Amino acid sequence: SFGEFRAQLTRTGASTFEGTWNHGVTSRMTVTAFTKDQVVMQRSDTAGLVMIGGHYSGKRIGNRVPNGTARLSTGVVTSWEASW
């Protein structure tokens, strides 16, 4: 286990958000789908020691994704959650 990572995202464009994770890496998240049922985002790291990309998807329930799937460029598949 790698521990728990958190980032608070700030909107920087129509469908882009940026944030710095609690381990110091800065990421850009581009929302590619946001419907009443799902959220899909692409992650690209923009600064940090270890740069990772990934595909994040999850079922939307109200204003949250309680148990999404993240497929990272390292091959790791893990869960994620979000609320807004």
Which residue type, as a one-letter code, is found at position 47?
A
Per-residue pLDDT of the chain (84 residues; tens, 9 = 90+): 568 899 999 999 999 999 999 999 999 999 999 999 999 999 999 999 889 999 999 999 999 999 999 999 999 999 999 999
CA distance 61 to 53: 25
Do residues 32 and 14 make contact, with C-beta atoms less than 8 angstroms apart? no
- Angle formed at CA 39 by CA 22 and CA 35, multiple of 5 degrees: 145
Nearest to 23 by CA among 10, 7, 8, 11: 7
pTM exceeds cut of 0.85: yes
